Structure 1
Amino acid sequence: MSLFGDAWNQYEHGMDSGLGVLPHITSQFFVPRMVDKPQDPIVLAIEREKITTLVKRDAHSFDSRNITRARDSPVLPSLSPEVLWAKSVASGDQHSDQVVSWDVLRQSHPNRSYNTPFLTEQSSDVSASAQYQSDSFFRDVNDITNQTFSMQPLPFDLRASVVRVNELELLESLRMTVLGTSSFLHTWDPVSETFLSFGGAENLPNKLIISGKDETMSSSLLKRFLDIGTLMRRLEVFLSVLQTRRKEESATVHAFSHALSVVLVYLRDQLSRGPLSNFCIPVSSKTLSGTWLYYGDSEEIVVSLASLCQRGLGLSPSQYPRFTMKPVALLSRIYKYLDTHFRKSSSRTLVAVFAYLLTMSSKNYLQTLCRSVAYTDSNSQRAATNQPQRTAIGPLDIEDFDQASPEDDEVLFSEGDKLPSFIPRELAEALPAAQKSLKLLTAAQPSHPVLNPPVRRPFITWVWSTTDIQDLWRTGSLGEAGDIAPTIGPNSPSDLASADSNLHGCGYQSDLVGFRIFDLEPGSNGGNTFNEHSMHAALENFILSFPPVLPSITPNLSLLTNLVFSPLISHAASLSSALLSIFLDENSFLYVHDHLVLLRSHMLLTSPSFKSRLTAALFSDTDDREVVAGGGKSFTLSRQRSKSVAGVTQHGTSRWAVGLAPFLTERGTWPPGGSDLSFFLRTVIVDSQDIRSFGPDDSQQEHELGSRRIAEEAEVRLGFAIRDLASDTGRERWLNPLYIEALDFLYLDYKVPHPLDVIITPGTISKYQRIFSFLLRLVRVESAIRAAFRMTHRNVLFPTLNQSRKLLTHFRFVAHSFVATLSAYIFDVAIGGNFDAFLARVTACRLGTSSEFTDVFSVAEAHSAVLNNILSACLMRSSQRAAGDLFRGGLELILELCVMIGDLNDGRLQEYQASSALDVLFAAFREKMSTLIKVLEVLLEKGLKSSQRQELLLALQEQSDVRHAPGGVEALRHLILRLDINEWWKNLHS
Structure 2
Amino acid sequence: MRISGYSSEVLQGIQRLCLECGNNTRFLSAYVQDTYKTHPGAARVAVATSVDMTLLVIQNILGVKARQARSLLQLQSLIRPIQSVLAYFRILIIKVSKAKTDEQTLSLVFREAQALEHSNVLLSEIMREVLSRVSNPWTRFAEKWIGVRSEEGTPLTKENPGNRFVKVAKITIVDDFGFETDERDFFLDDARMPEFVPSEVALVMFETGKTLRLLRTHHPDHPLCQVGFITQNNPPPLQWHFDWKSIGHLQEDVKDYENRLFANLKHWSADTSTSQLTSMTEKATDGRYALEFFGQEEAQLEGRLLASIAALDKPLISTSEEDNLSKVLGSKLFDEESIAKETISNFSPHWSLIPFHSFGPLVAAQARIINREYMKLLFSAHQLRDHLSLQKQFHLLGNGVFCSRLSHALFDPNLDTAERKSGVALTGGVMGLRLTGRDTWPPASSELRLALMGVLAESYLSPSSKSISATEKKYDIPGDISFAVRDLSDEEIDKCLDPGSLEALDFLRLSYKPPAPLSPIFPPIILLKYDKIFKLLLRVLRMLYVIEQLFQNTLGRTSKWHDIGNTSLRFRYEAQYFVTSITAYFFDTGIEIPWGRFAIWLDGVEDNVTKSESGQGVQVLSPDEVREEHERMLDRMMNTLLLRKRQQPVLRLLEDIFAVILKFSKVAHIEAIGNGENEVQDSSPKKLYDAFKKKVDVFMTVCHGLIEKGGKSTRNDVMTDDGKRGEEVKENTIDRLLLKLEMSGYYGHARA
Instruction: Give TM-score scaled by structure 2 length.
Output: 0.76
Distance 2:128 2:586 in 1: 63
Alpha-carbon spacing, 1:644–1:974, altered in 2? closer, same or farther (3 Å): farther
Alpha-carbon deviation of 1:272?
Answer: 4.0
Q: Is residue 466 of structure 2 the alignment partner of residue 672 of structure 1?
A: no
Alignment gaps of 5+ in structure 1: 1-164, 169-210, 282-286, 312-320, 390-403, 480-499, 508-515, 629-635, 648-659
Q: Is residue 532 of structure 2 the alignment partner of residue 770 of structure 1?
A: yes
Partner of 2:373: 578
Distance 2:520 2:29 in 1: 52
Distance 2:463 2:311 in 1: 71
Distance 2:620 2:712 in 1: 26
Partner of 2:273: none
Partner of 2:216: 442
Alpha-carbon spacing, 1:908–1:237, altered in 2? closer, same or farther (3 Å): farther
Alpha-carbon spacing, 1:733–1:167, altered in 2? closer, same or farther (3 Å): farther
Partner of 1:331: 106
SS in 1 for 2:75: helix
SS in 2 for 1:750: strand
Partner of 1:892: 659
Alignment of 1:844-859 (within 5 A): 844-848=604-608, 854-859=621-626
Alpha-carbon deviation of 1:366?
Answer: 0.5
Partner of 1:353: 126
Alpha-carbon spacing, 1:740–1:464, altered in 2? closer, same or farther (3 Å): closer
Distance 1:449 1:501 in 2: 19
Partner of 1:689: 460
CA-atom RMSD, angstroms?
Answer: 4.7
SS in 1 for 2:194: coil
Partner of 1:371: 144
Contact 1:830/1:968 (CA < 8 Å) preserved in 2?
no
Alpha-carbon deviation of 1:914?
Answer: 4.4
Moved more, 920-929 or 219-228: 219-228
Contact 2:166/2:188 (CA < 8 Å) preserved in 1?
no
Alpha-carbon spacing, 1:690–1:556, altered in 2? closer, same or farther (3 Å): closer
Alpha-carbon spacing, 1:839–1:691, altered in 2? closer, same or farther (3 Å): closer
**Cα offsets for 1:625-681 (capped at 9, x unmatched):** 5x32xxxxxxx4857x8599599xxxxxxxxxxxx9554688864321132421432
Alpha-carbon deviation of 1:213?
Answer: 3.2
Q: Is residue 484 of structure 2 the alignment partner of residue 717 of structure 1?
A: no
Alpha-carbon deviation of 1:218?
Answer: 5.4
Alignment gaps of 5+ in structure 2: 169-185, 258-286, 295-303, 333-338, 612-616
Contact 1:335/1:422 (CA < 8 Å) preserved in 2?
yes
Distance 1:814 1:851 in 2: 54
**Cα offsets for 1:822-851 (capped at 9, x unmatched):** 112212221112212211221233335998
Partner of 1:118: none
SS in 2 for 1:975: helix
Distance 2:728 2:87 in 1: 65
Partner of 2:205: 431
Distance 2:572 2:625 in 1: 47
Alpha-carbon spacing, 1:862–1:968, altered in 2? closer, same or farther (3 Å): farther
| Equivalent AA in structure 2 for residue 461 of structure 1 | Q
Distance 1:933 1:669 in 2: 36
Alignment of 1:320-719 (within 5 A): 322-347=97-122, 350-376=123-149, 380=150, 387=155, 407-408=163-164, 410-411=166-167, 414-418=187-191, 419-448=193-222, 450-451=224-225, 452-453=229-230, 454-462=232-240, 471-476=249-254, 528=315, 539-541=325-327, 543=329, 548-549=342-343, 552=346, 554-555=348-349, 557=351, 560-565=354-359, 566-583=361-378, 585=379, 588-620=380-412, 627-628=414-415, 636=416, 663=434, 669-690=440-461, 711-714=475-478, 717-719=480-482
Alpha-carbon spacing, 1:325–1:270, altered in 2? closer, same or farther (3 Å): farther
Partner of 1:651: none
Distance 1:988 1:254 in 2: 85
Partner of 1:267: 58
Partner of 1:633: none
| Equivalent AA in structure 2 for residue 360 of structure 1 | R
Alpha-carbon spacing, 1:267–1:543, altered in 2? closer, same or farther (3 Å): closer
Contact 2:526/2:631 (CA < 8 Å) preserved in 1?
yes
The higher relative CO (CA closer than 8 Å, separation ≥ 6) is in 2
**Cα offsets for 1:732-764 (capped at 9, x unmatched):** 212221111011111002211222221222211
**Cα offsets for 1:428-462 (capped at 9, x unmatched):** 23112212221233345445555534513253234
SS in 1 for 2:511: strand
Moved more, 223-232 or 973-982: 223-232
Alpha-carbon deviation of 1:900?
Answer: 2.3
Distance 2:499 2:727 in 1: 37
Distance 1:472 1:964 in 2: 33
Contact 1:252/1:362 (CA < 8 Å) preserved in 2?
yes
Partner of 2:599: 839
Alpha-carbon spacing, 1:409–1:556, altered in 2? closer, same or farther (3 Å): closer
Match of 1:310 among 76, 94, 107: 94
Alpha-carbon deviation of 1:368?
Answer: 0.7
Partner of 1:752: 514
Contact 1:887/1:932 (CA < 8 Å) preserved in 2?
yes
Contact 2:110/2:131 (CA < 8 Å) preserved in 1?
yes
**Cα offsets for 1:139-181 (capped at 9, x unmatched):** xxxxxxxxxxxxxxxxxxxxxxxxxx2249xxxxxxxxxxxxx
Contact 2:54/2:326 (CA < 8 Å) preserved in 1?
no
Contact 1:691/1:711 (CA < 8 Å) preserved in 2?
yes
| Equivalent AA in structure 2 for residue 342 of structure 1 | E
| Equivalent AA in structure 2 for residue 837 of structure 1 | R
Distance 1:465 1:816 in 2: 73
**Cα offsets for 1:212-234 (capped at 9, x unmatched):** 5356x555443322322222222
Identity of aligned residues (%): 22
Distance 2:321 2:463 in 1: 70
Distance 1:600 1:832 in 2: 9
Alpha-carbon deviation of 1:501?
Answer: 11
Contact 2:485/2:508 (CA < 8 Å) preserved in 1?
yes
Distance 1:916 1:709 in 2: 50
Alignment of 1:855-874 (within 5 A): 855-874=622-641
Alignment of 1:54-93 (within 5 A): none
**Cα offsets for 1:901-960 (capped at 9, x unmatched):** 2334456663774486322221221111111111111111111685xx99xx79x99xxx
Distance 1:986 1:853 in 2: 54
Alpha-carbon deviation of 1:564?
Answer: 3.0
SS in 2 for 1:671: coil
Alpha-carbon spacing, 1:468–1:167, altered in 2? closer, same or farther (3 Å): farther
| Number of residue pairs matched by the alignment | 665
Alpha-carbon deviation of 1:727?
Answer: 1.8
Alpha-carbon spacing, 1:989–1:298, altered in 2? closer, same or farther (3 Å): farther
Alpha-carbon spacing, 1:580–1:885, altered in 2? closer, same or farther (3 Å): same
Alpha-carbon spacing, 1:250–1:904, altered in 2? closer, same or farther (3 Å): farther
Alpha-carbon deviation of 1:974?
Answer: 1.1
SS in 2 for 1:758: coil
Alpha-carbon spacing, 1:746–1:693, altered in 2? closer, same or farther (3 Å): closer
